[in-house]
Structure 1
Amino acid sequence: MASHRRPKQPSRTRVTVLTATAAAAVALSSQAAQAAPKPTKQDVKTEVDKLYEQAEQATEKYNAAKENQEKLQKEVDGLQDKVARGQGELNQLRKSLGEVASGQYRSGSIDPSVQLFLSGDPDTYLDKAATLDQLSGQQADQLKTIADKQRQLAQQRQEAASKIKDLTDTREALGEKKDEIKGKLAKAQELLNSLTAKERAEIQAKEKAAQQKDAQRASRGAGGGERPDLGKDAPESGRAAAALAAAQSKIGSPYVWGATGPSSFDCSGLTSWAYQQAGQSLPRTSQAQANAGTRLSMSQLKPGDLVLFYGDLHHIGLYAGNGTVLHAPKPGASVRYESINNMPFQFGVRV
């Protein structure tokens, strides 16, 4: 007869251990939550500003790589064109010599050394200098011309191959910088999205108020508008005046990394575009523009001069007068006036 046994109950000791383990897990989770509090609105803003600055640093490196890519592409195109034209000239020279040899063959008088040349490499043939005296003077000159052309083509092909490798490497660097910029901006947006709508609005309102306050700094005679009092200093040249006027016409245009106008700009894109309107070509990046003219101290600045910021010179603007710069500040902002003291000034440049 089957026995009916009651199922074994867990021991009180085992239940106590399980309960204690669960309680400990809850306590640890609670402590972890307390140890990593939600970032404050100010923490988020500080980190976002830092990411925007890093994105701008990467943008100037991207701009340099892009400029280098365009330069290398032109060089590669030029070399490939030379190689194609040189190959055509070489083919014509070979054809001419072949026609002479064919005529000699038909008359039964083809020179064995010419026959050797036509079946092999001219350089190898010319190395056998002892056989040159077997050729007519005209054929020897033709052979030497062909060999020289072939050596020139080989050198141009090697140079083109080297440039193509540089171009490939530059394109890779360009892609890496592009990914880095996008990653920084995505992280900044992720941080902003972690805030409530109210907190985001407060940050935007605070930044806008600071911008307006800075734009109206020392606003005697400015009528309370967006334009600050820029003082009475005159630009050093008509070119500088024209560049500043061009940049002023773009106030409110958005900052977009890698942009050179006319509807959006990054920092060096604005300055290069402005001077282009004044008939002056500038290099693409802020670091290169730093060497585009005579360097100035802050006290020497005149409206229209370039102004460089940060130790690595990754930001640039135009001096507008009375301690004010006009620049494309950062992602999420637009072309605007700002105090020169808001960023670490390095030096000015007069173009």
Structure 2
Amino acid sequence: MTAPHRNSRAARGFAGALSAAILVCAVYTAGPATSDPVALPTSATDAISRMVDLSRQSEQLNQQALDAQTDLDAKLAVQRDADSKVAATTAVVEAARAEVRKYQPMIDRTAVAAYTGVRTNSMFAVLSSGSPQQLLDKMSTLDVVAQQTADTVRQFKQAADAATIADNAARAAADAAHTATAAANAVRTDVERKRQDLAAATTGVVEAWSQLSASDKSTLAGSPFPPGFDRDSLLAGLVPGSGTSALAAALTRVGDPYVWGATGPDQFDCSGLVQWAFKQVGKDVPRTSSQQANFGTPVSRDELLPGDVVLFYPDITHVGIYAGNGMMVHASTFGVPVAVAPINTTPYHSARRY
């Protein structure tokens, strides 16, 4: 069979899975698909190009799904904290109400005495006393009763005020818990949708890749190192430090497969490789490329040093580690193992130094 015939058959076998998966990505990625889902590939070369495009869109969706999961985890933490505050404030409310109940009988008796006209003032003591000594005795008793009553009323008021404050705090905590729960539920729905979309898109990519010949798969994978790149010489020249040490760690993973959502130790997506490499040198780096774009300190492109983190695309959905001389090590896309590649082959966005 001639090569054109083989290419044509591979392209036709590739077409069904490819066009369906492109439709998924075109709907759910941040921007429109760069390929026309109606125009099916007409050659193996075209099929490879289209699969790379589809894989790129799946990578975008992968990073979006990871961001959504991180958002959900944060909101669930807020929800747990709010629930804990509800439990704590509820206990305070119960304690405050118990304190109010302790003083309630004495307050009730004082109120009943006042209502029934019990005479407890100094004039009544003067008028009802038969002798100076009796007057003194009654006055002393009245002073004691008045002081006790005043103390009881003061303590009751303090307890009642504390109960009111506790009630208000409990209501605020309950409102916060309700809000946190609603926010978490909304994000949970988004996470589940993105996961389903990613599963559909990646299934299409894998199926399309399986239609390629061994030669086409090799062409897609490319070389792990560009011509003239010497990993051993680069490693020997690195100055010890967190960034260059992370670069050295990443270079040990060259040849490992790209897998959506993977963080190592022997398969990675783009941000998973960066996170794993810096973890090897004791740095806790965020999970996704968009989060990694806010970590560390910014560095301009003309001041890049080996070990800096380089970020790509307007939506920051790809990331790698700068290796010097315009090169980076990165987990590129499905079907392409971890490799060293020029940074100018991908739309540059920014860089950070960790």
TM-score (structure 1 length as normaliser): 0.71
Partner of 1:125 in structure 2?
none
SS at structure 2 position matched to 1:252: coil
Counterpart CA distance in 2 for 1:36 and 1:257 is 26
Partner of 2:299 in structure 1?
296
SS at structure 1 position matched to 2:316: coil
Counterpart CA distance in 1 for 2:219 and 2:232 is 19
State the AA in 1 paired with 2:202. L
Shift of 1:59: 1.2
Partner of 1:350 in structure 2?
353
Q: Matches of residues 237-252 of structure 1 in structure 2 within 5 Å?
A: 238-252=241-255
Shift of 1:65: 1.0
Shift of 1:233: 6.6
**Contact 1:55–1:180 (CA<8 Å) still a contact in 2?**
no
Q: Deviations over 1:134-177 (max 9, x none)?
A: x8111111111111111111111111111111111111111111
Counterpart CA distance in 2 for 1:50 and 1:38 is 12
Shift of 1:318: 0.3
Which residue among 196, 202, 211 is the counterpart of 2:215?
Answer: 202
Q: Deviations over 1:160-195 (max 9, x none)?
A: 1111111111111111111121121122234345x4
Q: Does 1:165 align with 2:182?
A: yes
Shift of 1:64: 1.1
SS at structure 2 position matched to 1:254: coil
Counterpart CA distance in 2 for 1:255 and 1:111 is 80
Does the C-alpha gap of structure 1 residues 71 and 318 become closer, same or farther in structure 2, counting only changes over 3 Å? same
Report percent identity of matched pairs.
28
Partner of 1:211 in structure 2?
223
Does the C-alpha gap of structure 1 residues 153 and 216 become closer, same or farther in structure 2, counting only changes over 3 Å? same
SS at structure 2 position matched to 1:349: strand
The RMSD of aligned alpha carbons is 2.7
Counterpart CA distance in 1 for 2:319 and 2:41 is 35
SS at structure 1 position matched to 2:213: helix
Does the C-alpha gap of structure 1 residues 155 and 36 become closer, same or farther in structure 2, counting only changes over 3 Å? closer
TM-score (structure 2 length as normaliser): 0.71
State the AA in 2 paired with 1:306. V
Shift of 1:71: 1.1
Counterpart CA distance in 2 for 1:272 and 1:36 is 38
**Contact 1:293–1:349 (CA<8 Å) still a contact in 2?**
yes
Partner of 2:169 in structure 1?
152
Shift of 1:331: 2.3
SS at structure 1 position matched to 2:332: coil
Which residue among 54, 59, 78 is the counterpart of 2:57?
Answer: 54
SS at structure 2 position matched to 1:348: strand
Q: Does 1:43 align with 2:46?
A: yes
Listed as ranges, the gaps of 5+ residues in structure 2 are 1-37, 113-149
Does the C-alpha gap of structure 1 residues 95 and 233 become closer, same or farther in structure 2, counting only changes over 3 Å? same
Counterpart CA distance in 1 for 2:83 and 2:347 is 46
State the AA in 2 paired with 1:78. D
Counterpart CA distance in 2 for 1:256 and 1:187 is 14
Q: Deviations over 1:198-257 (max 9, x none)?
A: x4212112124x324xx04214xx4xxxx486498745x711122112222333333222
Listed as ranges, the gaps of 5+ residues in structure 1 are 1-34, 113-132
Counterpart CA distance in 2 for 1:80 and 1:89 is 14
Does the C-alpha gap of structure 1 residues 259 and 110 become closer, same or farther in structure 2, counting only changes over 3 Å? farther
SS at structure 2 position matched to 1:136: helix
Shift of 1:88: 1.1
State the AA in 2 paired with 1:324. M
Q: Does 1:321 align with 2:324?
A: yes
Q: Deviations over 1:317-339 (max 9, x none)?
A: 00112222111111233322222
SS at structure 1 position matched to 2:322: strand
Partner of 1:280 in structure 2?
283
